[in-house]
Amino acid sequence: MLWPGTLIGAGAGFAIASIPGAMLGALLGQALDRRMQLHSWAHLRERLGGRPALRNDELLFVLLGRLAKSDGQVVDGHIQQARQEMRSLDMSEPAQKRAIAAFNRGKSGRDRLRGYLLRLSAQPHAAEGVLRACWRMVWADGRASSAERELIMQWGKWLGWTPQQVHMLASDYEPHKKPLTNSGGAYQEALRVLGVTVTSEPAQIKRAYRRLLSRHHPDKIAGSGANPAQVREATEKTRELHNAYTLIRERRDFR
């Protein structure tokens, strides 16, 4: 990893006082890198442009915002998934505000994320958690576009994962390959899954979906000390809820 302040300090110090100057300049530059959280030349350009460095608790939501916007439109499913991630992390109110701001910042696509992810690669469990959250965001609208897949594959590479490893994570959150068809019987089954009726308003359907998704989310189940079988069951239930909500939304034509 290139530390810009350290390199600049060493170069300037060498020009002024040869090797002793380079050593002193490198030490001063290293202190500057740490203070300003500079991990790459891209980060230095970012800071010079007035964009603050991302905190660890903001990086995830910048990534999620970038994914949500990658196809051009952020839908309700994306918003609800971001809120679910906040609940799963048990974030305080100030932390939630930072997460919302980070999500919106991510939608702009202006942040250079390579340096942050390279640094995170030294924390395997955290890196896996980020990739899992990204796949959950991708499937929040029931489909994974090529743009979304390319982003996650690139981020996985920077995190030190192989494409095969990144792809394998997707299967934990991908809806069934044979989703419910839009037939009358399947529509009635989808209504039953969400606990709503044919006369329920879109707002009621959305609330029911969010409530059930929160109750059965795999991360929440895992955090309560459940065994692997219970986590797999929660994952299947989450997929069922996604499929049911997608079918009803398409049938009723609402976002």
Q: Match 């039953």 to its residue by tokens.
A: 192
Residue 176: which of 214, 142, 140, 133 has the closest Cα?
A: 142
Reported pTM: 0.58
The string of pLDDT tens digits covering residues 100-110 is: 999 999 999 98
The rounded Cα 115 to chain-centroid distance in angstroms is 16
> Where along the chain do its domains lie?
4-48, 56-170, 184-252
**Per-residue model confidence (pLDDT) at position 36:** 55
Q: How long is the chain? A: 255
CA distance 241 to 190: 8
> Could you tell me where the DSSP H helices lie in the chain?
4-36, 41-48, 56-69, 76-88, 93-108, 114-120, 124-138, 146-158, 163-170, 184-194, 202-216, 218-223, 228-252
**Per-residue model confidence (pLDDT) at position 160:** 94
Burial status of residue 120 (CB atoms within 10 A of its CB: 0-12, 13-18, 19 or more): buried
> Where residue 224 falls among pLDDT bands split at 50, 70, 90?
confident
The residues near 61 (Cβ < 8 Å, ≥ 6 apart) are 82, 85, 99, 100, 102, 103, 106
What is the rounded average pLDDT of the residues 193-199? 89
The values of phi and psi at residue 32, to 5°, are -65, -40
Q: What is the CATH number of domain 184-252?
A: 1.10.287.110
CB 131 within 8 A of CB 156: yes
Average model confidence (pLDDT) for the chain?
80
Among 26-30, 106-110, 164-168, 231-235, which stretch is predicted with the lowest mean pLDDT? 26-30
**Per-residue model confidence (pLDDT) at position 177:** 46
The amino acid that residue 176 corresponds to is H
- Round to the nearest angstrom and report the end-to-end CA distance of the chain: 43
The string of pLDDT tens digits covering residues 45-104 is: 555 555 566 777 799 999 999 999 998 889 888 998 999 899 888 889 999 999 999 999
